[in-house]
Amino acid sequence: MEQTVHSTPLENAERPSPSGLHRELKAWARDLVIALGLAMIIIVFFYQPVKVEGTSMAPLLSDQERIFINKFVYHFEPIERGDVIVFWYPLDRSKSFIKRVVGLPGDQVEVRSGRVYINGKPFQESYVPPQFVDMSAYGPSRVPIDEYFVMGDHRISSNDSRIFGPVPAGFIYGKAVFAYWPWNHFGTISASADAVVK
């Protein structure tokens, strides 16, 4: 005996059946798990959470602040003046430091009465508050090829290239990109547009 099959009327098709709703929820759950998994892979392999210790990068970064660093960015783009970088401390590779790039390979760096000069020209740094400027002198000194001269923004309390010298490129393993704790510092950390030689 032949069986008659009816197509579903349009008005009934718009109402999901319980089994259809179940399938849709499963699809949403699957997509959410995949998205979370991909986010975790990106964070684990491309970004690394780090805790800042000390005040040498104040006021940009505070003691005990939590940030993410991008571990692969310098495989695709050059290190630029003004970048906030994380690197192995040249005098003890069991420690990591975070500082700002001031001098690029080949630059002549000099500090006179706390004022930085790059290749004889004043280096504009509005991110360094007047109360954080020390009156030290350094150089002039040429930054070797494939090395970078770094300084903390809080110049009075910063152990930086004025003391331990330029940092070899091979010691640099990340760029500070995002602050996530405390909440009032939540946001991106970008190279300062004010880090220019005039």
Active-site positions?
A: 56, 99
The CA distance from 129 to 138, in Å, is 20
Give the pair of three-digit tokens for residue 158: 């910063």
* One-letter identity of residue 16: P
Decide: helix, strand or coil at residue 97.
strand
Q: Are 109 and 102 in contact (CB under 8 A)?
A: yes
- Residue 107 backbone phi and psi in degrees, to 5: -70, 150
Question: Could you tell me which residues come within 8 angstroms of residue 190 by beta carbon, excluding any fewer than 6 positions away?
Answer: 177
Place of tokens 């990106």: 42
